[in-house]
Structure 1
Amino acid sequence: MTIERSPSKTAAQKQMRPLRVATASFIGTAIEWYDYFIYGMAAAIVFGPLFFPSVSPAAGTLASFATYSVGFLARPLGGIVMGHFGDRVGRRSMLVISLLTMGFATIGIGLLPTYDSIGVWAPILLVTLRFIQGIGVGGEWGGAVLMAVEHAPERKKAFYGSFPQMGVPGGLIIANLVFLGLTTNLSDEAFLDWGWRVPFLASAVMVIAGLVIRLTISESKEFEAVKESSTEHRMPFISVLREHWREVLLSAGAFIGINAVGYIFMSYLLSYSTGVLGLSRNLILTFTLVASGVWLAVIPWASALSDRRGRRGVLLVGSTGLVVCAAALFPLINTADSALILLALLATAVFMGMVYGPIAALFSELYRAEIRYSGASLGYQLGSILGGGIAPTVATALYNNWASSTPITLYLTAVTLLSLGCVRLITRERGPRRPA
């Protein structure tokens, strides 16, 4: 009896392992993106008056989003450094380091004195901690996606790879719930005085939970095979640039549009709708929360569909839909009609999910296992700088200069069209390579 049950148990454990790894990737990624998003929400609401009080409200908001963009400048550095060691030492250790890095910076922001207390050192320290946040999240994405994809069954790579992708709207949902709870139950004065610090300090509990989870997962067989065969590259980053520069550029271009729309959706719209249109902060937070739930649900569905039907079709439909949403988003928001605003956010969320889910597997399949962390991270993080990294700052500057959202609409339409073209090229000319 023992001999008969043992193989069955082992087989069950092997079947559960990909799901366990993917779930761990989702939880850890959601925690890191929660940390990242609460900064964006605070930048939209409180960082202007607290850290840049000597300038006008409009200039303070612009300065806040400029510090927000600093985190994106650091993301390629995190991707390069952690990608290097992730390809040489292991994926899991880099995931632990990235989580600790993000947690340290986020808690530090929650404890940071404001301009009234320490003067110019307040914005300097804020920028420094934001830069550290960027390093942490820059190294996070590649490791989390590769752990999920490399552990996955061959015909379910995109589905399992979508779990860390779901961590992005997952983190946004948690951040929105926390901010919504605080702004609902605190006066504006209390929130500005101390309430804004709570989301940052609460990160400590989640970081500890994330570390416990991440320490329970093991390296993938693909990476273990690289170690056993001693085929690691001495400088994976250089190998990627020398052998796969086209894939890096195309993947960066393919990601710019979804990332720009995503960060307008997640950050700038809160500032614009409350500051320019005078809409209720809680209304926009609630709508964003609902749309984020739709975004999260679409990601695994679209990813599973791409496993069955192919990456190209799903990504092209999603990218085309994003172009339409980019053109319609601000005109619908400007109506100040609650139903139309919700419709705009829900439609945007659907097409963001169709692009964001399958793109993780697509990027990972472009590179061999021994350089995959570096390659996938580099394209993704370069796209993040040119997409979400500058989008809120560009949007704020465009509105301040033109007093109209039309230039923002033209900007978003242009970057989504660029990404649509890159998606067509990367899926037609190269196609997703199967792991070596």
Structure 2
Amino acid sequence: MAVNLELNQRDTGKQTISPAQAKKAVIAGTFGNIMEWYDWAIYGYFAPVIGQLFFPATDALASLLLSFAVFAVGFIMRPLGALFFGPYSDRVGRKKALSLAVILMGISTFVMGILPTYEQIGILAPILLVIARLVQGLSAGGEWGSGTSFIVEYAPESKRGFYGSWQQFSTGAGLLVGSVVATVFTTIFSPQELSAWGWRIPFLLGIIVGIVGLYLRMRIDETPKYKEIAKDTKVSKKPLLDTLKNHPKEILIAIGFTIHWTVSYYLLLTYMPTYISKVVNLPMSLSLLSNVIVITFFISLVPVMGWLSDRLGRKPVLISSTIGFALLSYPLFSLIEHSSFVIILLSQMLLAIFEAAYSGPGPAAIAEVFPTKIRASALSVGYNISVAAFGGTAPFIATYLISATGDNTSPTYYVIACAVISMLVLFGIKETYKEPLK
């Protein structure tokens, strides 16, 4: 399918947006998101190395658990980031919120790259690491709601699924860039070189990433939908209060909607390299290579699934994802545990198809629930609460379940339960793909 981000020239009622302006805005928005999610993801890929350097323990599994606990700590800050950035975006605009978010992410990632280790400064090392991760979480919490609002509000009504899918494409692309970097570094450096200094370089690149992302976002225009309500003085002065007071049911829907999405996403695309290397005992370089291939395959399908939801509806595509994970997670994890590299890769790719079926229509489907004047606040709060509670803790829970039960397939029970919860939510919500944005 040819990817076409061109918009027909259209009148918002207050201004006319040319195809060139819209294309520039969507590309800049997604590219900035790639930059930010590279910064966010790189920690997950180097978690085994970070665990050894910042949380030394006689038990390698204990170090890994502590490292993933810090990974989860970043997610705890996401609701706080949502509480700040969501209302900020609804009050002053999507552009300013997105620019501030990328600055915080670039600086905090760079700081991680220059931190002394536990051997050098003792307990202060993990404390500083946690603080840097908290700032990353604050930034990531502000990114999703504003970024999704930005892209969906630029989309033609008949293409919101396709346009919204590029938000998730760019998130996956950021993970892909991080995965490629991790794969290259674990291949060209020995384990000793990687532990001594090699792991720092991907984090130090965070400052460049931040500068590029900021440059792109400062050059984009505000969304036509937001300009329209701003011109008519319909901008909410207290968007967070308006959201909590007038849309509590919709926030609960957003939380339930996101549970399956975030758990399956982070287990498949972030945790899986660690699972394959530590549990299946494949070399780290091979597990990262499979992850690069899987993420590439995944992001290539995301726009296709978004496009499909513009034709079939959001719900059929989304529900197919929950059914796929509920039925196939256990048998595929069993295959991964006892198979060759090729079978492991094919199993991951099959799961990636169902992950793309949720990630493609997901941004548009959840954005269509809320009106423009509080959309960024509502998306930020509902989505990030779910991500913090379920997604950020997913690698930790998966590692703990294996440790506690001795069953390497035990993480699938968590995946299946989350898929069923979101499936029930989907059956209860209204189809919105043919309706205008509120």
Give the TM bin, normalised by the shorter chain.
over 0.9
What TM-score comes out, normalization by structure 1 length?
0.94
Which residue among 290, 293, 296 is the counterpart of 1:290? Answer: 293
Which residue among 18, 24, 28 is the counterpart of 1:20? Answer: 24
In the alignment, residue 436 of structure 2 is paired with which amino acid? R
Unaligned runs of 5+ in 1: 1-7
Cα deviation, residue 20, structure 1: 2.0
- 2: distance between equivalents of 1:23 and 1:121? 41
Cα deviation, residue 13, structure 1: 7.2
Contact 1:258 1:322 survives alignment (8 Å): no
Hey, what does 1:409 align to over in structure 2? 412
Which residue among 241, 249, 260 is the counterpart of 2:263? Answer: 260
1:128-155 CA-partner distances (Å, limit 9, x unpaired): 1101100101101111111111111121
1:11-60 CA-partner distances (Å, limit 9, x unpaired): 997123322222112111111111111011111x2111100114521111
Q: Please, which moves more after superposition, 202-211 or 393-402? A: 202-211
Hey, what does 2:422 align to over in structure 1? 419
Q: Please, which moves more after superposition, 406-415 or 108-117? A: 406-415
Hey, what does 2:116 align to over in structure 1? 113
Contact 2:161 2:360 survives alignment (8 Å): yes
- Structure 1 position 94 matched with structure 2 position 100: no
- 1: distance between equivalents of 2:317 and 2:108? 37
Which residue among 226, 235, 238 is the counterpart of 1:232? Answer: 235
Cα deviation, residue 381, structure 1: 0.7
- Structure 1 position 194 matched with structure 2 position 192: no
- 1: distance between equivalents of 2:147 and 2:256? 21
Contact 2:46 2:182 survives alignment (8 Å): no
1:43-87 CA-partner distances (Å, limit 9, x unpaired): 1x2111100114521111111000000111111111111111100
Per the alignment, do residues 420 and 307 of structure 1 end up closer, same or farther by CA in structure 2, a change over 3 Å counting? same
1:365-415 CA-partner distances (Å, limit 9, x unpaired): 111111010011111111212321111111111111111123212111111
In the alignment, residue 383 of structure 2 is paired with which amino acid? Y
Hey, what does 2:219 align to over in structure 1? 216
Hey, what does 1:398 align to over in structure 2? 401
Contact 1:159 1:307 survives alignment (8 Å): yes
- 1: distance between equivalents of 2:328 and 2:177? 25
Hey, what does 1:41 align to over in structure 2? 45
Contact 1:328 1:344 survives alignment (8 Å): no
SS of aligned partner of 2:83? helix
Which structure: greater helix fraction? 1
Per the alignment, do residues 320 and 351 of structure 1 end up closer, same or farther by CA in structure 2, a change over 3 Å counting? same
Per the alignment, do residues 70 and 432 of structure 1 end up closer, same or farther by CA in structure 2, a change over 3 Å counting? farther
Hey, what does 1:184 align to over in structure 2? 187
Which residue among 138, 144, 148 is the counterpart of 2:147? Answer: 144
Cα deviation, residue 285, structure 1: 0.9
Per the alignment, do residues 149 and 266 of structure 1 end up closer, same or farther by CA in structure 2, a change over 3 Å counting? same
Q: Please, which moves more after superposition, 323-332 or 374-383? A: 323-332
- 2: distance between equivalents of 1:264 and 1:193? 28
Cα deviation, residue 272, structure 1: 2.1
In the alignment, residue 131 of structure 1 is paired with which amino acid? L
Hey, what does 2:339 align to over in structure 1? 336
In the alignment, residue 52 of structure 2 is paired with which amino acid? P
Contact 1:22 1:164 survives alignment (8 Å): no
SS of aligned partner of 1:85? helix
Hey, what does 2:63 align to over in structure 1? 60
- 2: distance between equivalents of 1:399 and 1:10? 54
In the alignment, residue 43 of structure 2 is paired with which amino acid? Y
SS of aligned partner of 1:333? helix
- Structure 1 position 31 matched with structure 2 position 41: no
* Consecutive aligned runs of 4 or more in structure 1 exceeding 6 Å deviation: 8-13
Cα deviation, residue 322, structure 1: 2.4
1:337-367 CA-partner distances (Å, limit 9, x unpaired): 2222111110111111110111101111111
Identity of matched residues, %: 34
Hey, what does 1:3 align to over in structure 2? none
Hey, what does 2:80 align to over in structure 1? 77
- 1: distance between equivalents of 2:270 and 2:307? 28
Per the alignment, do residues 292 and 419 of structure 1 end up closer, same or farther by CA in structure 2, a change over 3 Å counting? same
Count residues in correspondence: 427
Hey, what does 1:154 align to over in structure 2? 157
Q: Please, which moves more after superposition, 313-322 or 23-32? A: 313-322
- 1: distance between equivalents of 2:341 and 2:191? 23
Contact 2:164 2:363 survives alignment (8 Å): yes
- 1: distance between equivalents of 2:224 and 2:138? 27
Q: Please, which moves more after superposition, 227-236 or 212-221? A: 227-236
Hey, what does 2:275 align to over in structure 1? 272
In the alignment, residue 24 of structure 2 is paired with which amino acid? R
Cα deviation, residue 9, structure 1: 10
What TM-score comes out, normalization by structure 2 length?
0.93
Which residue among 126, 134, 152 is the counterpart of 2:137? Answer: 134
Q: How does 1:366-385 map to 2 (within 5 A)?
A: 366-385=369-388
Which residue among 294, 311, 316 is the counterpart of 1:308? Answer: 311
- 2: distance between equivalents of 1:261 and 1:220? 31
In the alignment, residue 68 of structure 1 is paired with which amino acid? F
Q: Please, which moves more after superposition, 278-287 or 185-194? A: 278-287
Hey, what does 1:4 align to over in structure 2? none
In the alignment, residue 42 of structure 2 is paired with which amino acid? I
